[in-house]
A = this chain, B = another copy of it.
Amino acid sequence: MASTKTGAQGGRRRPTVADVAREAGVSVATAGRALGDYGRVGDALRDQVRAAAARLGYSPNGVARSMRSGGTRTIGFVGVDISNPYFATAMRGICDVARKEGYEAILANSDDRLDIERAAVKVLLEKQIEGIVVAPNAVIDVGHLQRAQELGVPVVLLDRHSGVLDADSVVIDNEAAAREAVSHLLRLGHRRVGMLLCVDPSESPELVRRAGTGRLEVHGAARPSIDRIRGYVAAMDQYGAPTAAELIRYTVVGEAAHLEREAEALLDLPDAPTAVFAADNVATQGLFTAVRGRGLGIPDDISMVGFDDLDWTTLVDPPLTVVAQSPMDMGRIAAERLFARIKGDDSPGERIILPTELIVRSSAAGRDAVHTA
């Protein structure tokens, strides 16, 4: 797990739990437990942490606050859609950690719409939840999340990073993951490689087009879909494969039925791609369905790499080569960060990058093999 410091709270001089943890040579979670006097911490360790706190002049009030306040013991999760297995599994991870901490979780589905997300956060704050995990629709328009922080309600971002918000985020390296997937296809000899994905309605066709031609300057963080397009373009450039707007097909989130149509448009191109990277789990299903519907063989007629290691990708024939990530870990770690914050950790926001893995199965084959088949 890589970890990058972001944000800029350097102006604060009051020592934090993280400072105490560093001074004592223990984890932030352990320091939080020792200072807050809850959970299991050995006596020696507790003394060690408290001595470090005394050296730094740390005041434990912040940590003990939520332990004593009898808060609502409720956190919120604003996900995109619980009926998407990615978010359902993340929710399971969040719930498991919450229960261990004696908390419960309220769920809100944003359908990746900023207006719904804003309203959900407002309602959660009215309900006095003690922290929010959110898969934010926008990476820049985060005023509603800043407001939560100002009210003392910690926010942890899941799946998406914001360059604006000083908050922990638990993400994957979308650009690198896409680059690896597309490089796999290119190394097999494919040059005409298509891409299929869901984008947010706020991502204008112009933005997607510019990302597709590599002429997109992104300041700070971008959304996963844009980062995946950048990874695709980077791989194509590296292998000298020409990119073209017609090769990148997308539909907006919530219009999954359209994906099949976009996939068909890709397959029907006069100079059709010999391989396609489906850059999210909805696109993976849409592509697989469209290829089957056209009566094409995988990988004999067309190679594909999908995204997300959902159960079904190993049940189909052939089993799919996919980029795997762990939404369960993502949910768990996001919740763990949230509880560290609830317990008083006010160190600058961290970007926690979880690993992805290209799982090679049988849906992508070499161009030579295709020609001789």
Contacts and interface: CB of A to CB of B under 8 A. Distances in A.
Interface string A71-82: 011100000011
A106 B73 CA distance: 12
A74 B106 contact: yes
A123 interface: yes
Interface stretch (A48-56, A179-187, A308-316): A308-316
A92 B82 contact: yes
A327 to B, nearest CB: 9
27 contacts: A73-B127, A74-B106, A74-B127, A81-B92, A82-B88, A82-B92, A83-B88, A83-B91, A85-B85, A88-B88, A88-B91, A95-B107, A95-B108, A99-B108, A104-B108, A104-B120, A104-B123, A104-B124, A105-B106, A105-B107, A107-B107, A288-B315, A310-B312, A312-B312, A312-B315, A316-B316, A316-B317
Contacts of A315: 285, 288-289, 292, 312, 315-316
A325 B317 CA distance: 26
Interface of A: 72-74, 81-83, 85, 88-89, 91-92, 95-96, 99, 104-109, 120, 123-124, 127, 285, 288-289, 292, 310-312, 315-317, 328
Contacts of A85: 83, 85, 88
Nearest to A123: B104
B108 A92 contact: no
Contacts of A95: 82, 107-109
Given A83-B89, A88-B88, A88-B91, 20 more contacts: A74-B127, A81-B92, A83-B85, A83-B91, A83-B328, A85-B85, A91-B107, A95-B107, A95-B108, A96-B109, A99-B108, A104-B106, A104-B108, A104-B123, A104-B127, A105-B106, A285-B311, A311-B312, A312-B315, A316-B316
